[in-house]
């Protein structure tokens, strides 16, 4: 990954989403300890933006998060836990979206389904509505 990608993670609690983000951060050379941003919602690790929408109750709350400031930035990779909550909005983004669906098999095994959405012409999507 070179930056500008959006990775949408979905799956049940304990499915491995945050563990995946920790591994991605390590692979990107991020030294900072990666934790779930469940309460802060967004954590910026430089090359990696980690967003957790678990506590997002209504789509109308999205505008106040400032997601458009992060999503699709050429030098950053955005990873969104519980991304299915804003799937329709992400599908309209001009950036490449990679969807990872985590399925819990047992304590040490997860099944991950990968789907992608190709890039669209450049532009910004308005998350304010």
pLDDT of res. 57? 62
Residue 62 pLDDT: 66
CA 129 to chain centre: 19
Q: What is the mean pLDDT of the chain?
A: 82
Short-list 70, 116, 69, CA closest to 96: 116
- Structure confidence at residue 121 as a pLDDT band (50, 70, 90): very low
Two tokens at 20?
């995946």
pLDDT at 58 over 70: no
DSSP codes of every residue in 3-27: S--EEEEEE-TTSSHHHHHHHHHHH
Each domain of the chain, given as residue ranges in start order, spans 6-117
Question: What CATH architecture is 6-117?
Answer: 3-Layer(aba) Sandwich (3.40)
Top-confidence residue, 128 or 34: 34
pLDDT tier at 124 (50, 70, 90 boundaries)? very low
Task: Summarize pLDDT for 104-120 with one digit per residue, the tens.
Answer: 898 889 899 998 865 54
**Per-residue model confidence as pLDDT tens digits over 63-98:** 667 777 778 788 999 999 999 988 888 888 777 889
Please state, in angstroms and rounded to a whole number, the distance separating the CA atoms of residues 87 and 101.
13
Name which of 47, 50, 82 is nearest 67 in CA terms.
50
End-to-end CA distance of the chain: 30
Contact between 9 and 98 (Cβ < 8 Å): no
d(CA 36, CA 33): 10
């Amino acid at each position: 990954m070179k930056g500008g990608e959006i990775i949408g993670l979905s799956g049940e609690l304990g499915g491995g989403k945050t563990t995946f983000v920790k591994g991605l951060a390590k692979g990107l050379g991020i030294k900072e300890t990666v934790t779930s941003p469940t309460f802060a919602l967004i954590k910026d690790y430089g090359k990696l933006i980690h967003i957790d929408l678990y506590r997002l109750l209504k789509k109308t709350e999205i505008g106040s998060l400032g997601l458009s400031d992060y999503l699709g930035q050429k030098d950053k990779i955005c990873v969104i836990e519980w991304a299915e909550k804003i799937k329709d909005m992400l599908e309209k983004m001009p950036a490449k979206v990679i969807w990872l669906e985590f399925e819990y098999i047992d304590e040490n095994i997860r099944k991950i389904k990968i789907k992608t959405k190709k890039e669209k012409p450049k532009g910004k999507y308005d998350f304010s509505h």
